[in-house]
Amino acid sequence: MPQGEIFSDKRKHPRIEKKLKVAYKLMKSAGEDVENFTAEKKHVISGDISICGIQLLCDEHFKFEDVLRLDIYLDGEKKPLATFAEVKWIKKDENLGKYRLGLEFLVLKEDHIDAIKRLENQL
In a domain, 46, yes or no: yes
* Number of structural domains in the chain: 1
What pLDDT is stored for residue 8 in this prediction? 43
What pLDDT is stored for residue 123 in this prediction? 59
Q: Which domain holds residue 29?
A: 21-110
Residue in 89, 85, 53 with CA at minimum distance from that of residue 69: 85
What pLDDT is stored for residue 44 in this prediction? 96
In a domain, 52, yes or no: yes
How would you write 55-78 as a 3-class SS string? Answer: EEEECCCCCCCCEEEEEEECCCCC
pLDDT beneath 50, residues of the chain: 1, 6-9
What pLDDT is stored for residue 29 in this prediction? 77
What pLDDT is stored for residue 72 in this prediction? 96
What pLDDT is stored for residue 118 in this prediction? 87
H or E segment to which residue 117 belongs: helix 110-122
Q: CATH number of the domain that 34 lies in?
A: 2.40.10.220
What pLDDT is stored for residue 76 in this prediction? 80
In a domain, 12, yes or no: no
In a domain, 119, yes or no: no
